[in-house]
Structure 1
Amino acid sequence: MKPVAICFVCLGNICRSPTAEAVMRAQVEAAGLTEWITVDSAGTGDWHVGEAPDHRAQTAASRRGFDLSGLRARQIAAPDFERFDLVLAMDAANLAHLRQLCPPALRSRVRLLMEFGSQPAVNEVADPYFGGGEGFELVLDQCEDACRGLLARLRPGLAGETA
């Protein structure tokens, strides 16, 4: 089976998408699937390119054992739609932007991360940028849940794994 490459995307790549990247990476490592699943993140905007994730995101993630310190923001680029099997948006606005950028033949790769979450009524990862610390905790809760669901969905097709 072919390895799976996933890119998580939010607006600036400093809060939600790097959190999702770190959460998914940790879950993939814990499952022993690092040779089968690779993860990255990006933003649809270019405001924070080269910057570390928001210090509030780093602090909240660190309390749960996730390290965002080595990540740097980047903007999604045309080659990413070929490179990644899944391009997972954090919200509907970024999903719409990604679909505009993505070649029509690859649009099935562009989806919402929360499609894999356990709460069908929750469609988007909440944007914590303009709020307090509790928003970053909610992002972690949502990312942990959706990444668990994503990993469960991917596992049966990887290395002969069964769910």
Structure 2
Amino acid sequence: MTNILMVCLGNICRSPLAHGLLESKLPQDSFYIDSAGTGNFHIGDPPDHRSIAVAKSNGIDISNQQARQFKVSDFDAFDFIYVMDQSNYDNVIALARHDSDKEKVSRILKVVDNVGTKNVPDPYHGDLSDFEHVFSLLNNACTSISKSLLA
């Protein structure tokens, strides 16, 4: 079983979308996908209603996910840790105990060529179109990740 963790700030917008997207692209008997936030603002909350709506409009149900905070033990539990932006990367790396923890962490958009940015923008203060843009970025990244894992 390969375990993959998606991480953003609050675990209600970007990482739940990435979690649901990658989960939809990989066989669940071989891959376990989860998500977390670096902050503790939304622990126990469902994803943002706009993330749920955008995922649902694309045939993915993320409504049962619950926000949780990233913890040091996640380095032991997960093989790959994908973060949404440089700030998330810095926060996760700050908790790393050694180089093998750090080697598991990367920004999710690094797997996509010609995307123009390496940071997934936080759509929280935006509107539905911002969530749709994030979904598109993450869909491309998750497609690339799934192809490399299934190769």
Q: Distance between the aligned counterparts of 2:119 and 2:75, measured in 1?
A: 21
| CA-to-aligned-CA distance 1:4-61 (integer Å, 9 cap, x gap) | 1100000000000000000001111xxxx22221100000000000000001111111
Q: Distance between the aligned counterparts of 2:138 and 2:56, measured in 1?
A: 14
Q: Is residue 14 from structure 1 mapped to residue 12 from structure 2 by the alignment?
A: yes
Q: Distance between the aligned counterparts of 1:81 and 1:25, measured in 2?
A: 20
User: Residue type matched to 2:25 in 1?
Assistant: Q
Partner residue, 1:140: 135
Runs of at least 5 residues in structure 1 that lack an aligned partner in the other structure = 157-163
Q: What is the 5 A alignment of 1:2-151?
A: 3-28=1-26, 33-105=27-99, 106-151=101-146
Q: Distance between the aligned counterparts of 1:103 and 1:142, measured in 2?
A: 30
User: Residue type matched to 2:47 in 1?
Assistant: P
Task: State the secondary structure of the residue aligned to 2:103.
Answer: helix
Count of aligned pairs between the two proteins: 150
Larger Rg: 1
TM-score between both structures, scaled by the size of structure 1 = 0.88
The 4+ residue runs of structure 1 with deviation greater than 6 A are none
Q: Distance between the aligned counterparts of 1:119 and 1:27, measured in 2?
A: 22
- Give the deviation of 1:119 after TM superposition: 2.5
Runs of at least 5 residues in structure 2 that lack an aligned partner in the other structure = none
CA root-mean-square deviation = 1.0
Q: Distance between the aligned counterparts of 2:146 and 2:126, measured in 1?
A: 29
Task: State the secondary structure of the residue aligned to 1:81.
Answer: helix
